[in-house]
Amino acid sequence: MSEDVSFIREREQVLQLAQVEEKEIIDIGAGPFARLAVSKHDCYVTSVDVSSVALEEAEREAERYGVTEKISFEQENAADLSYGDETFDIGICFCVLHHIPVDQREAVLRELFRVVYERMVIAEFTAEGFEELHGTSSYTPVDLAWLEEFLSGLGEVSIHPLGTMNAYVINKR
């Protein structure tokens, strides 16, 4: 699988916003994000997904890149994580919320906030970005006004436009 420049650039921008260097992070939604975090920022990642198939694919990819020693692949329901409070330094949810049923999105965000110590970063598509990538899918786009309002209830939010998506950074400390 070849990766285009924007594929890497968007993820790298989110990693920089999250300040993950040498941190322990939880990544909601198994995929290439975890291996990029490890290979470029020397952090430890717990990659969680409800799908065992997605976890197996992500683990195979991490093996191809030689970064499996710093990634734990765990099957979890992001709306009800099994981890204790403030287990991870950083939490990241990169373009995953639109894959989650609308009625579970708030629980996922609350759980992610609960299990992180320093900050969390939520990246989600703008309307244009969603249409471009998932316009014909059965996924429901995330209402970004709702997302911003909800995250503001958790703490101070900074918003970073990244082309076809926005990244929301919420600091706890």
Report pLDDT digits (tens) over 79-124: 999 999 999 999 999 999 999 999 999 999 999 999 999 999 999 9
Phi, psi (rounded to 5 degrees) for 51: -95, 120
Q: Residue 2 — very low, low, confident or very high, per pLDDT cuts 50/70/90?
A: very low
Q: Residue 163 — very low, low, confident or very high, per pLDDT cuts 50/70/90?
A: confident
Question: What is the reported pLDDT for 1?
Answer: 40
The full set of domains in the chain, from first to last, is 5-171 (3.40.50.150)
Q: How far is CA 36 from CA 19, 21, 144, in A?
A: 13, 12, 26
Phi, psi (rounded to 5 degrees) for 125: -65, 145
Q: Nearest to residue 116, comparing CAs of 77, 90, 96? A: 90
- Mean of pLDDT values over 47-69: 95
Mean pLDDT of the chain: 92
C-beta of residue 117 within 8 angstroms of C-beta of residue 172: yes
The percent of residues in the chain predicted with pLDDT above 90, rounded, is: 82
Report pLDDT digits (tens) over 131-156: 887 777 788 999 999 999 999 999 99
Q: Encoding tokens for residue 78?
A: 């992001």
Neighbours of 98 (CB within 10 A): 17
Q: Encoding tokens for residue 42?
A: 């020397």
Question: What is the reported pLDDT for 4?
Answer: 59
C-beta of residue 95 within 8 angstroms of C-beta of residue 122: no
Distance in angstroms (rounded) separating the CA atoms of residues 45 and 168: 20
Q: How far is CA 81 from CA 58, 74, 125, 150, 164, in A?
A: 19, 11, 24, 19, 29
Report pLDDT digits (tens) over 14-24: 999 999 999 99
CA atoms within 13 A on the CB side of 130: 19
